[in-house]
Structure 1
Amino acid sequence: MAKKDKQSSSKVWSVMSLVAVLGAATIAKKGLNTGWKAATGKTPPANPADPDVDLKEAVAWAAVSGALIGLARMYAARRAAGYYARSTGHLPPGLQKGDDEDSGFQP
């Protein structure tokens, strides 16, 4: 792929993945807030680090929200990568085989 095509492809992927991940996180957060209120009868803690928030509640909120938002973001990124691959015929930049070596990634 030509350098200009690769840069353009990289920019398209960056925007596409950003929109997908932010959208997924927003939807997951709204669902979490609703689910938390239904399960506990209280609104979720605005700031779990606040000393006025019960420690058990803060830990539960941090664990549940962190895990579910992380999963939603990962799922959205995978779906966006699949859509990108179907649309272009190849994986997005950074996900193609051999990209790890090009980026200097050291496991």
Structure 2
Amino acid sequence: MSFYSRSLPAPTKAQRARMDAIKNGVCIPCLIRGKRTLFPEINHLLSGGLRISHDATVGECQWHHRRIPNDGWSFDSMREMYGPSRLCSPREFHAAFGTDKELLEVQNEMLGVL
């Protein structure tokens, strides 16, 4: 079973290129917070618990995406420095960084997508 078979078909060549560009960019929540965390993970935005599309993707560091702190950092120090994690507190995450639609708009702007 393919990784993508749970809710989406395999990404197209253009969608793979988009995800590669995101992975070589910056974490969007970190950028909003004034930080520059490189090489983010791909976060597929959801609707009804399912991925929307491979085009509805935002780059997020391990902290913002999956609540994994940097080596040697506590959860509290990560939260203080980088803000809330999406996984730990979605409401606080969105209050701090914006809606998924707003995050996607920032990501698309960074990628030069119309």
TM-score by length of 2: 0.28
Larger Rg: 1
Q: Write 1 or 2 for the structure with the bigger share of helix.
A: 1
TM-score by length of 1: 0.29
Question: Which structure's relative contact order is higher, taking Cα pairs within 8 Å and 6+ residues apart?
Answer: 1
Q: Write 1 or 2 for the structure with the bigger share of strand.
A: 2
